[in-house]
Structure 1
Amino acid sequence: MRDYRIFIDHDNLEPEELLLEAVSPDSRIERPLKSEFFIAFYFSILVVLAIFAATGFKLSILDNDYFTALAVKNQFINIPISPPRGLTYSREGTILAENRETYGLWLLPFRLTINEKEEIIVRLSEILNLSIENLTGLIEKNSGKASFLIESDISEEKKEKISSLGSLALVIAKNNTRVYPDGKSFSHLLGYVNLVNENDLSKDSFYQTNDQIGRFGLESYYESYLRGKRGEILINRFSDGMQELEPHKGNSLVLNINSKLQKDIYSELENGLRQIGREVAVAVAQDPRDGRILSLISLPSFNNNSFVRGLTLEEFKVFFENKKDPLLNRVISGRFSPGSTIKPLIALAALEEGVINPSQKINAPGFITITNPYNPEIVYTFRDWKNHGLVNMREAIANSSDIYFYTVGGGFYDIKGLGIERIARYLKMFKVDSILGIDLGGEAAGFVPDPEWKRQNRGEIWYQGDTFNVSIGQGDLLITPLWLTSYIAAIGNNGFLYKPFIVDKILNEEGNIIKTFGPEVLASFNFNEENLNVVKEGMKLVAEVGTAKVLGDLPFKVGAKSGTAEVVKGQSTSSWITVFAPYDNPQIALTIMMESGKEGSYIPHQIAYRVLENYFK
């Protein structure tokens, strides 16, 4: 059946006719609406109703906790209580970093009435020893805040006087601050904490005003473990009610550090520097069996407690204007010429590469000369520190013959020598140009020069004399004391270079172990056993008849190597001793370096003797 429509001319309708159009029999006949339209219409209504219902359910049920929390937040003012940081223990249980309970004074501006304000300012200025002008300015500056900190560490006497004021606008909150019982001896190892700044607050939402944060050393490296969980005081805006939620202490560190060894070495270094009027020294001790750091000292040192409380002007000048840079951890960040301490590695490389037989003797008369290959009229003289005569490899290591190592390193007489490429390869095998990954920030890598580097940086070609210099630990070769100790430990333990690590385990608030650290081999070397023994025997002779024979008086055998390297031409040198002990079953590798003149070159040897003697008592 067809549908029909009757159309009306709307342009000719009178106004009253418009009103009658809906009921007029002449109004147009539309086609019937299809059922799909009604289905869609009713479905749309159902969807809208469902959305309203879901929104209501979400607001009343699912988001109930959120809005409840928001209401509580608006009702209460939060005053943070900084958590006590985790403690730091030496391997034998001595506390190296602990906490002292303190009290901070907070002001609640909304509770400070006009009548009370003037009296509170006067009384507080007397108690806190602040000028009325400064205190007034502080209050005005923070008047828009719900609460703000006036002073972070008030004494017990001040606390009692403030409490006696009876003002609801003043709140005393318990806090904690860091204390280092023996700060200077452990300063570069532990580092320090101080108050957070605006940058800290913007980078990490965990921190709030008056929190302390690790800035240096282990305090910084393990900050996320040490910092704990904050407590708070909740103050009701609309009543006098107050609720305190206790903080939770951070996790504690148990170190591999032997505190007695650390203190002994620190005292010895201070006394040694005092004897020769110098300031710079380093020492690091490692267990060759697994890489554990037993001691780590850098001088000049600093009192890390000073940074916790805030530096005075005089202290600031000492720390930041001192050219010797007390804040530099020279053990891991200082780069030095190793001097003759590199010779055992060069000797091992020469044996492994078949450059020389260990029994073959080389004449070391005190100097050698070589001719410039591009101009025969130019002759270079390379001197030794003494005339050694004929020496084999063991004797060359024992007596530190430069001529011998010029020859096996750079080539002379009829011996081709290793050459810089092979020397660099062995140095890099021992990872001298890499960081070792100790658990402290700021570790530096050493540096191995080569012909390409010299061409790019100095616009010069590489000479045979450059290889001579690297072969005896001079020139542009640079190492860190940490690396030197790890490399000597690898010689002593027959070829295992371990990652050095300071922390043994981490304990939670209840004292339970939550994390442990163990040995990690960075490189293992399949050296010929006979070659390795030759090098070690030469190092044993260093202590018995060679350049560090004071160590021969110890009641046990050791392997050692001494060295000197010029720091400022004609003025100062770095005097080195590195040693593993006991010789047959090494339990410690010890390196000591002191900035000295010629008169102090043997002081590190004497210190190493006394340290090792006491360690094995």
Structure 2
Amino acid sequence: MDKLQRFRQTRRFLAVTILFTVILLGIVARLYFLQVVKGTYYAGVAEDNRLRIISTDAPRGEIRDRNGVILATDVPSFDIVVTTYDLKNSNQELGVVAQLTGAKLQTLKDTVKKAGVGPYTPITVVRNVSKVVALKLAEQEPDLPGIQLIMSTKRSYPQGTLAAHVLGYTGEIGDTELQALQTKGYVMKDTIGKEGVEQQYESLLRGQKSQKLIEVDAGGKAVKTLQEKPAVPGKSIILTIDVRLQKMCEKLLGNNQGAAIIMDPRNGELLALASAPTFDPNKFISGISSQDWKTWSARGSLFDRAIAGTFPPASTFKVVTGTAGLETHTITDRSIIYCGGGLTVGGRLFKCWIWPGRHGNEDIYKAYADSCDSYFYTVARLTGIESMDTYAHKYGIDKLTAVDLPGEATGFVPTPQWKLSKYKQAWYDGDTMNMGIGQGYVLETPIRNISIYSSIAMMGTLWRPHLLKASVDPVTKAETQTTPVVQSTLGVSTATLTAVRQGLYLVSKTGGDARIQVGNIKICAKTGTAETGTLNVYDTWMVAFAPMDNPTVAVLLMYEDSPYQRSTSMAPLLHDMLQQYFNLYGGKNGSN
């Protein structure tokens, strides 16, 4: 072999040696980078792949009536969660979930996409699946590495439709709600109170979620629990409601539209708060059928007429008119006004309800007993719209009662300025007269109406109507009692309120209204029959408090598009409400 060949072989050997050296150095450098420089990072990735943090909802606090009857509670259920890191074929695995649950595949994908969490954090995609679906999914779970079935709870209302408007219902958190509550730990698919006390006391009823650190196998399935922070249940709440009185009120309303309320005027506790027609809150948990939604929407079943319905108060408003007349010294309790069956003003005859009959001479006491329109037409006209408005405001008609429920509406007190702005018309004496008997433009809610009569019962003091009696700590079981609050005082003289109360007492002793009587208990009452604009269709009211000298209860019954032509026909129903109350609580101790 000549020198040239040896030189070439040597050069090739050196080249190969250098190449292998470079490759070896690259491998060593890469290993150094992976094990030393990035060692901590990749160890964390491996650990994250092996470990998961699972969060489950805490049981929601129970809702009970004042005697411990359960109105809302949690029952066992199943949820489906997705861990995106473990998904091998998202379309196929989520498709199985869609097929079993009836959910849309795209909806499931959107839920996962919008969750905004890391790949190792489970995302709830379907809540409250049935046992049948849970069993079917459990059978297929080994072939669905990214899908898990977990134990959960769902809301249940064991009394069905009873007190539905008071309780409200729960549902999945909406996008707008999530934006507002995200900083408080809420995430997509969380359950939240939507209406009623479920919404009002969400912060009390909602518990603290559990946190569990688990180890998973290569298929993403749990093999060991490493750490666990148990869930803390929400606080239970005790309502002022008595289900026995609530059932009676709802039975009296039946299939009609209206409201029924029983309230303790001494502290504002609502013993019953009913609105009709009603609904079953359980149907919101499993999903409302289109037929249920259609039926409820057509009848306004979800609308709480007790706190949000506004109606002409009719003759129940006459306590405001009488107060205005007496306080402005337009009349005294001895003033006599003649009722000839009507009153002609501006060429128009304003008929008393007794037309073509007549009441004759009326003082304020007899005018309340007879519910004489002519008397209160005259008082309103003489008093004037400014003073009428002043005392309507004093009674709070255009203010919220601040009852602890979402969605309360205010009533409406018309003024000449309002009429000119809205209708481009001047205010006439006839408008004031119509207002004086609770017709025309004036509107009240049932909750405000009973509050007005409760303030008369308490000689000018109005306690804020409320439903929360106490909350109960889930651990210590200690009760935190609600402190009743005086919402306002009327600023009306004792003499005026005494006269009004005496007139209301005579109502319960007169004619058909006397059927309200309960034994020898003195009852103050007032009826109202409001025109609706449809011939022979009325809204009817009756409100009362008792005993007159030491009131412990106020009751109200109101029908929209009433089954009765005259509100006096409701007296036996108010008798039943009062009789039931006194049977349960006695005439002395009241609801305390």
Indicate the residue corresponding to 2:246 in structure 1: 262
Take 2:480 and 2:140, find their aligned partners in 1: how far apart are those partners? 48
Matched to 2:523, the amino acid is: V
1:361 is the counterpart of 2:336 = yes
RMSD: 3.1
1:230 is the counterpart of 2:209 = yes
1:463 is the counterpart of 2:463 = no
1:178 is the counterpart of 2:162 = no
Take 1:567 and 1:121, find their aligned partners in 2: how far apart are those partners? 55
Take 1:137 and 1:391, find their aligned partners in 2: how far apart are those partners? 71
* 2:447 pairs with one of 469, 482, 501: 482
Residues 452/201 of structure 1: CA separation in 2 closer, same or farther (3 Å cut): closer
Given that residues 57 and 209 in structure 2 are in contact (C-alpha distance below 8 angstroms), is that contact kept between their aligned partners in structure 1?
yes
Residues 140/219 of structure 1: CA separation in 2 closer, same or farther (3 Å cut): closer
Take 1:332 and 1:113, find their aligned partners in 2: how far apart are those partners? 53
1:522 is the counterpart of 2:487 = yes
Query: Which stretch of structure 1 is more off in the superposition, 247-256 or 350-359?
Result: 350-359
Indicate the residue corresponding to 2:577 in structure 1: 611
Given that residues 196 and 406 in structure 2 are in contact (C-alpha distance below 8 angstroms), is that contact kept between their aligned partners in structure 1?
yes
- Matched residue SS, 2:291: helix
* 2:348 pairs with one of 374, 380, 384: 380
* 1:345 pairs with one of 313, 320, 328: 320
Residues 72/164 of structure 1: CA separation in 2 closer, same or farther (3 Å cut): same
Task: Count the aligned residue pairs.
Answer: 525
* 1:402 pairs with one of 359, 370, 373: 373
1:203 is the counterpart of 2:171 = no
Indicate the residue corresponding to 2:257 in structure 1: 280
Provide Cα deviations, 1:518-567, integer angstroms capped at 9, x if missing partner.
22222224544333222111111111114522113544221000001112
Take 1:543 and 1:365, find their aligned partners in 2: how far apart are those partners? 24
Matched to 2:575, the amino acid is: Y
Residues 135/461 of structure 1: CA separation in 2 closer, same or farther (3 Å cut): closer
1:295 is the counterpart of 2:272 = yes
Provide Cα deviations, 1:474-504, integer angstroms capped at 9, x if missing partner.
1111111111101101111111112111101
Residues 200/75 of structure 1: CA separation in 2 closer, same or farther (3 Å cut): farther
Take 1:353 and 1:74, find their aligned partners in 2: how far apart are those partners? 81
Given that residues 399 and 547 in structure 1 are in contact (C-alpha distance below 8 angstroms), is that contact kept between their aligned partners in structure 2?
no
Indicate the residue corresponding to 1:81 in structure 2: 56
Given that residues 398 and 547 in structure 1 are in contact (C-alpha distance below 8 angstroms), is that contact kept between their aligned partners in structure 2?
no
Matched to 1:153, the amino acid is: N
Given that residues 593 and 604 in structure 1 are in contact (C-alpha distance below 8 angstroms), is that contact kept between their aligned partners in structure 2?
no
Q: CA deviation at 1:177?
A: 0.8
Given that residues 537 and 565 in structure 2 are in contact (C-alpha distance below 8 angstroms), is that contact kept between their aligned partners in structure 1?
no
Take 2:132 and 2:177, find their aligned partners in 1: how far apart are those partners? 32
Given that residues 571 and 597 in structure 1 are in contact (C-alpha distance below 8 angstroms), is that contact kept between their aligned partners in structure 2?
no
Q: CA deviation at 1:157?
A: 5.1
Provide Cα deviations, 1:287-330, integer angstroms capped at 9, x if missing partner.
1111111111111111111112211111121233x1x4211111
Take 2:45 and 2:524, find their aligned partners in 1: how far apart are those partners? 69
Given that residues 536 and 565 in structure 2 are in contact (C-alpha distance below 8 angstroms), is that contact kept between their aligned partners in structure 1?
no
Matched to 2:454, the amino acid is: A
Q: Normalising by structure 1, what TM-score? A: 0.78
- Matched residue SS, 1:591: strand
Take 1:420 and 1:467, find their aligned partners in 2: how far apart are those partners? 6
Q: CA deviation at 1:356?
A: 1.6
Indicate the residue corresponding to 2:548 in structure 1: 583
Q: CA deviation at 1:516?
A: 3.0
Residues 86/269 of structure 1: CA separation in 2 closer, same or farther (3 Å cut): same
1:552 is the counterpart of 2:520 = no
Provide Cα deviations, 1:267-286, integer angstroms capped at 9, x if missing partner.
1210xx5xxxxx31101221
Residues 427/238 of structure 1: CA separation in 2 closer, same or farther (3 Å cut): same
Take 2:375 and 2:71, find their aligned partners in 1: how far apart are those partners? 47
Given that residues 194 and 310 in structure 1 are in contact (C-alpha distance below 8 angstroms), is that contact kept between their aligned partners in structure 2?
no
Residues 74/461 of structure 1: CA separation in 2 closer, same or farther (3 Å cut): farther
Given that residues 341 and 562 in structure 1 are in contact (C-alpha distance below 8 angstroms), is that contact kept between their aligned partners in structure 2?
yes
Query: Which stretch of structure 1 is more off in the superposition, 589-598 or 103-112?
Result: 103-112
Take 1:125 and 1:552, find their aligned partners in 2: how far apart are those partners? 62
- Matched residue SS, 1:185: coil
* 1:499 pairs with one of 459, 464, 482: 464
Take 1:488 and 1:517, find their aligned partners in 2: how far apart are those partners? 23
Take 1:462 and 1:136, find their aligned partners in 2: how far apart are those partners? 59
Matched to 1:316, the amino acid is: W
Matched to 1:262, the amino acid is: Q
Take 1:185 and 1:352, find their aligned partners in 2: how far apart are those partners? 43
- Matched residue SS, 2:517: helix
Take 1:479 and 1:601, find their aligned partners in 2: how far apart are those partners? 17
Indicate the residue corresponding to 1:21 in structure 2: none
Matched to 1:405, the amino acid is: F
Q: CA deviation at 1:584?
A: 1.8
Take 2:172 and 2:111, find their aligned partners in 1: how far apart are those partners? 20
Q: CA deviation at 1:198?
A: 3.2
* 1:248 pairs with one of 232, 246, 253: 232
Provide Cα deviations, 1:224-245, integer angstroms capped at 9, x if missing partner.
1111111245444666544354
Take 2:483 and 2:44, find their aligned partners in 1: how far apart are those partners? 44
Indicate the residue corresponding to 1:433 in structure 2: 398
Matched to 1:219, the amino acid is: E
Matched to 2:196, the amino acid is: G
Given that residues 257 and 295 in structure 1 are in contact (C-alpha distance below 8 angstroms), is that contact kept between their aligned partners in structure 2?
yes
Take 2:544 and 2:199, find their aligned partners in 1: how far apart are those partners? 31
Given that residues 340 and 564 in structure 1 are in contact (C-alpha distance below 8 angstroms), is that contact kept between their aligned partners in structure 2?
yes
Indicate the residue corresponding to 1:593 in structure 2: 558
* 2:282 pairs with one of 290, 305, 311: 305
- Matched residue SS, 2:322: helix
Q: Which runs of 5+ in 2 are unaligned?
A: 1-39, 584-592
Q: CA deviation at 1:136?
A: 10
Provide Cα deviations, 1:172-193, integer angstroms capped at 9, x if missing partner.
2121111111232211111110
Matched to 1:573, the amino acid is: Y
Given that residues 394 and 491 in structure 2 are in contact (C-alpha distance below 8 angstroms), is that contact kept between their aligned partners in structure 1?
no
Take 2:480 and 2:173, find their aligned partners in 1: how far apart are those partners? 27
- Matched residue SS, 2:447: helix
Indicate the residue corresponding to 2:23 in structure 1: none
* 1:188 pairs with one of 144, 165, 171: 165
Residues 117/355 of structure 1: CA separation in 2 closer, same or farther (3 Å cut): closer
Residues 301/600 of structure 1: CA separation in 2 closer, same or farther (3 Å cut): farther
Take 1:404 and 1:600, find their aligned partners in 2: how far apart are those partners? 19
Indicate the residue corresponding to 1:99 in structure 2: 74
- Matched residue SS, 2:128: coil
Residues 201/453 of structure 1: CA separation in 2 closer, same or farther (3 Å cut): closer
Matched to 2:320, the amino acid is: L
Matched to 2:181, the amino acid is: D
Given that residues 512 and 568 in structure 2 are in contact (C-alpha distance below 8 angstroms), is that contact kept between their aligned partners in structure 1?
no
Take 1:137 and 1:460, find their aligned partners in 2: how far apart are those partners? 54
Q: CA deviation at 1:355?
A: 1.5
Take 1:162 and 1:485, find their aligned partners in 2: how far apart are those partners? 54
Given that residues 266 and 458 in structure 2 are in contact (C-alpha distance below 8 angstroms), is that contact kept between their aligned partners in structure 1?
yes
Q: CA deviation at 1:171?
A: 2.4
Take 1:69 and 1:473, find their aligned partners in 2: how far apart are those partners? 74
Q: Normalising by structure 2, what TM-score? A: 0.81
Query: Which stretch of structure 1 is more off in the superposition, 193-202 or 532-541?
Result: 193-202
